[in-house]
Amino acid sequence: MDLSTAEVRDNQTGMNVSSAGLGVLRAKIIALREPVILTDEEAMSIALSTPSVAARIPKGCVLGGGDAYYSDQVVAGVICKDGSNPWAIEINLKTGEIVDAETQKTVDPAGAQRTAREFLDKRKRGLVQVHNELDALCGPR
């Protein structure tokens, strides 16, 4: 097994070996390497569940993902039926912090970060479970 890619190769044939079981094992190994950050969907959910963000969305408008994404944040904007885009926010994928894209002022820091911690803690618990499953399958590393 190549630990850098989590691929399994048959040394006699030189071919990569694949099976459903190896695919599951490979996915678990790769999952352990992923950074523990919010998904775009979780970031949007946090924004929509933050009262001060929801209150700023005019009737007939929606909060949608923007065109600008960074490795540690997602940009979302209010999009209205008339095509206007009155404001946008940036959501930090590591902390859940929401800032107004124009002013860079934090929006409801306590509520957004509390919700983000819940998502991130759930992800961390899942990774501990994956780690334990790999230990059971392969032995401790």
- Which residues lie below 8 Å from residue 85, measured CB to CB, with a gap of 6+? 77, 78, 79
Q: What is the pLDDT of residue 87?
A: 87
At residue 27, the pLDDT reads 82
Dig out the tokens for 105 from the structure: 């002022």
pLDDT, residue 125, reads: 93
Look at residue 100 and give its three-state secondary structure. Answer: strand
pLDDT at 9: 81
Q: Which two tokens stand for residue 65?
A: 């993902």
For residue 95, give both structure tokens. Answer: 């902390």
String of DSSP letters for 108-123? SHHHHHHHHHHHHHHH
CATH of domain 40-121: 3.10.450.170
- Token pair for 90: 């940036």
- Compute how many other C-beta atoms are within 10 angstroms of the C-beta atom of residue 22: 15
Contact indicator for 20, 75 with CB cutoff of 8 Å: no
Domain positions in the chain are 8-36+125-138, 40-121
Which pLDDT score is estimated for 119? Answer: 92
Q: Is 0.75 surpassed by the pTM of this model?
A: no
Q: How many residues does the chain have?
A: 141
Cα(98)–Cα(73) distance, integer angstroms: 9
> How, if at all, do strands 73-80 and 8-9 pair?
unpaired
Predicted local confidence at residue 67, as pLDDT: 52
Q: What is the mean pLDDT of each run of 10 residues along the chain (141 residues)?
A: 72 85 80 85 89 88 73 88 85 90 86 87 91 80 60
